[in-house]
Chains A and B, each alone.
Chain A
Amino acid sequence: MSAQLLLFQLLNGLGIGMIYFLLSVGLTMIFGLMGFVNFAHGAFYLVAAYAAYSVSLLTGSMLWALLLGPLAAGAVALASERLLLRRTYALPHEAQILVTFALSLILQETVILVFDPLSKNVPVPDFLSGIVFLGDFVYPAYRLAVVGVAAAVALAMWLALERTRFGAILRAGSESAEMVSLLGVDVGRVFMAAFALGGALAGLAGALAAPLRGVEPFMGLEALGVAFVVVVVGGIGSFAGALLGGLLIGVVQSVMSSLWPEGARLMIYAAMAFVLLARPAGLLGRA
C-alpha cells in the first residue's frame, strides 16, 4: 500500500470513526448512567431512519427529515421506557437483554409490515450532494457534514455532562441513585430523560445514516453490532471512550480495506479482542 493510499485510508477511517461514535454514544450513555443493557438501541436507529425516509418522501425536505427522525426515535424510546423498560431496571441484565431484544424485533417487524423488506433511497440534501477535494483525496460533502455533526454532538455532550446541573445529576445518579433520590431528585424522571436522550442520539445517527446507506429493515441489528464493539473497545459507560473506540475501529476497518480487504470486517472484532486482552475494561473504562 502506497503512503498516499495509507493517508487516504486514515482520513476515511477517521470519518467512519466519527459516524461510529455517533452510533454508539447513546448506548454507552444509557449503560454508563443507568447500568441498563439496551439491545433496542439499533431499533431506535432504525425507527429514526424510516421516519427520515417518510418525512423526506412527504415533504421533500431532508432538513425536516433530519430533525424529525431523531425526535421520533426519542419519542419511541421515551414510550418504551415508561411503559415497559422501567419495570426491568431491578431485574438481572439477562432479562433486560431479552426484553430489549424482543422490543427491537417487534419494531423491525413493524417496519416490514408498514413498508416492505426492500431497501429504500433517502436523498442527500441538494446543497450537500457534491464531493470535497482534500488534495488528491476525494470525500463526499454529506459525509463530511455528518462528521461535523458528530463532532458537534461530542462537544455538546461533553458540555452537557460536565458543565450543567442535569449532567451533574446524571453522573451522580449513575454513582448512587438512592443517594440522589434522598437529596430530593426524582431519579425515575432523570433516567427516563436519559433514556429518551440516548434513543434520540441513536435516532440522530439513524437519520444521518439514511442518505449514506438508504434504509432497510435489518439496518438496526447491523448497527447494534458495531455500536457494541465501539462501546466495549472504548470502555462501557465512557463518553470519551466511545469517541476513541469509534475512531480506532473506523481507522482499523478503513486501513484493512486495503491491506486485507476480505478480513476488514473481521479485524474490527480482532481489534476489540486485542484491546480487551490489554485492557479488560476497555481503553477508557473503569475497572
Chain B
Amino acid sequence: MPLNRRTVLGAGATALLASPVVSRRPLAQPARLEVAGVYSLSGTFANVGDLLNKGNTWAFEHYRTAAGVPINYTLLDDQGDPGRAVRRVQEVMAAGTRHIVGCTNSAIALAVAREVHRAGGIYIHMAGADEATGSECNRASFRWPGASFTAVNATVRPFIERNPQAKRWYTITGQYVFGESLLTNTRALLQEAGCQHLGNSYHSLSEREYSGYITAALAARPDVLAILNFGNQTVDVLRQAVSFGMKRNTKIVVPWSTGLDQYQAWGPDICDGVFFGVNYWHGVQAPGNKVIQDVVRQKTGGQTTNYLHACGWAVGQLLVEAANKAGSTDVPAMIRALEGLSYEGPTGTETVRAEDHQVIKDYYLMLGKPRSRMADRDDFAEVLAGTKAFQPPDRTGCRMA
C-alpha cells in the first residue's frame, strides 16, 4: 500500500481516537457535580420546603466535594404539585443533571422517582409512603426516613404494649398517598393486636377546620385518637383536638411527627401527654448527629437542629457518601456504592438496604413532657423507644426495576 499524506493523517487520527488519553476522556470526572434539589417553596408543603432545602444546602457546603468533585446545587420549586415537579426535573435532566435529591411529599417523590429512573439518574428522597421502597421501588431511588410502616410499627405497637387497656381507636387521616399508607398500616396493626377501629374521618389536603371531624371522634368515645398525616395539618388537628378536651379521657398518638418544629408550634401544654413518632431527635447521642448540630448552630446563630434540617442534611450526606465510596460521580457506580453502605448518620450508624434501597435507622416513640419537667426550651418530649421497624425485604413488594 503506498504511503501518502492522506493515509498518514487517517492512521494518525485512528490512533489518536483509540489512544487511552482520548478514550478515557468521556469517563473522566466532570469539573463539578450538578445536583438538583426538589422542594416545595410554594403550595401546600411550602412551610417545610425552605428548612429542608437549608439542611440540604448546609450539608453540601459542609462536604464541599463528592468524590473530589465540587458540588453545584440547584434548587427546584415543585410548588407542591407532582406534575410541576416532574417538569422541573425533566428540564434539569435535559440540561445534563443526573443527581436529584429532596421532596417530602409522597405523591411528588413517587412521580419524580419514576422520571429520574427513566432518564438514567439517581434520586435520594425523604417521602414516607411505603410504595417508594415497595411496589414503586426502582434501581435509581433511595429513601432516608422510615416508611409509614416504620412509623406505625415503631409507635402504635410499643404504645399498645404500654397501654394494653386502650382498645378502642379512632383515626383522622389526610386523604392522600401518605395518609392512606399510614391508615392501612394502622388498621393492620390494630387488627393484629386485637384492638377495635371505631372509625376513620378522612379530610382533604386543603382542609383547615377540623372541629367537625373531632366532634365525630368525640361522639365515638375512643380510648385512643390517632392522627395520620404530616405537616401543618397534623399541627392543626392536634391543636383543635386538645382544645376540644380530647386529652381528658382519650390518649392521642401522632405516628408521624416532624418533632421539634411541631412541638414548638404546639407549645408544651398541647404536647404534654401526647405520643409522637419521629424520625429524628436532636437529643440522640451519635457522632453524625453532633456534626449536624454544630453546623446548624453555626448557620442559625444557635438554634437546635430539627427534623427538617436533619432530613435535608441526610439526603445530601447520602449522596456525598455514595460518591466518596464509589470514587466517582458516575450514576451506576454510585448506586452500587449505596447498596449496603453503612455510615454515621443523624440517628447513629445507618445502613442502606440493598434489596429495596431503604435506609435502616432508628425511629423514635416520644411522649410529650409537662412544662414543669422541661430541662430547656426545646426539651418538649422524652424518647420512650428507638426501633428499627422495617418490613422484611421479601414483604415490601419491591421488585427492583
A→B interface (CB under 8 Å): 2, 4-5, 8-9, 12-13, 15-16, 112, 116-121, 123-124, 129-131, 138-140, 142-143, 212-214, 216-219, 222, 253-258, 261-266
Residues of A within 8 A of B175 (CB): 262
B302 in the interface (beta carbon within 8 A): no
Within 8 Å by CB of A264, from B203, B235, B236, B267, lies: B203
CA–CA, A258 and B72, complex, Å? 51
Chain B residues numbered 186-225 whose CB sits less than 8 Å from any CB in chain A: 200-204, 206-209, 211-213, 215-216, 218-219
Chain A residues lying within 8 Å of B270, measured Cβ to Cβ, are 121
Cα A138 to Cα B47 in complex, Å, equals 32
B264 near A258 (CB under 8 angstroms)? no
Residues B204 and A266 in contact, CB atoms below 8 Å apart? yes
Nearest A residue to B306 by beta-carbon distance?
A118
Are the C-beta atoms of B265 and A120 separated by less than 8 Å?
yes
| Inter-chain contacts of A257 with B (CB < 8 A) | 201, 203, 211-213, 215-216
Q: How far, in angstroms, from A258 to B202 measured CA to CA in the complex?
A: 10
- Nearest Cβ distance between residue A210 and chain B, in whole angstroms? 11
Residues of B within 8 A of A116 (CB): 50-51
Report whether over half of chain B's contact residues are helix, strand or loop; otherwise say mixed. helix
B232 adjacent to A264 (CB under 8 Å): no
Hey, what's the 0/1 contact readout for B261-287 against A, CB within 8 Å counting as 1?
A: 110111101100000000000000000
Which residues of chain A are within 8 angstroms of B47 by Cβ–Cβ distance? 117-119, 216-218
Task: Enumerate chain A residues within 8 angstroms of B265, measured Cβ to Cβ.
Answer: 118-121, 214, 216
Q: Chain B interface (Cβ within 8 Å of chain A)?
A: 46-51, 175, 200-204, 206-209, 211-213, 215-216, 218-219, 232, 235-236, 239-240, 243-245, 248, 261-262, 264-267, 269-270
Q: What residues on A are CB-neighbors of B244 within 8 Å?
A: 131, 138-140
Would you give 20 A-B contacts (Cβ < 8 Å), ordered by A?
A: A5-B216, A9-B215, A12-B211, A15-B211, A16-B209, A16-B211, A117-B47, A117-B48, A129-B269, A138-B244, A138-B245, A140-B245, A143-B211, A143-B243, A213-B208, A213-B236, A214-B236, A219-B208, A253-B209, A264-B204
Contact B203 A262 (CB under 8 A): yes
Q: How far is the CA of A130 from the CA of B242 in the complex (A)?
A: 10
* Minimal beta-carbon separation of B72 from chain A (angstroms): 25
Q: List, in ascending order, chain A residues with CB within 8 A of B212's CB.
A: 9, 12-13, 16, 253-258, 261, 264
In this complex, which of A9, A139, A214 has the most chain B Cβ atoms within 10 angstroms of its Cβ? A214
Q: What residues of chain B lie closer than 8 Å to A117, measured between beta carbons?
A: 46-51
C-alpha gap A254/B261 in the complex (Å)? 29
Interface-central residue, B211, B218, B267, by most chain A CB under 10 Å: B211
| B47 to A, closest residue via Cβ | A117
Known: A140-B244, A264-B203. 4 other contacts (CB 8 A): A117-B49, A121-B267, A212-B243, A264-B213
- Given that A121-B266, A121-B270, A256-B212 are contacting pairs, would A264 and B219 also be in contact in the complex, using a CB cutoff of 8 Å? no
A15 to chain B: closest CB distance in Å?
7
| Interface hub of A5, A117, A217 (most chain B Cβ within 10 A) | A117
CB nearest neighbor in B for A258? B216
Let me know if B240 and A119 touch, CB within 8 A.
no
Contacts of A8 in B (CB 8 A): 215, 218-219
Contacts A262-B202, A262-B204 given: A120-B264 contact, CB under 8 Å?
yes
B243 proximity list for chain A (CB < 8 A): 124, 131, 140, 142-143, 212
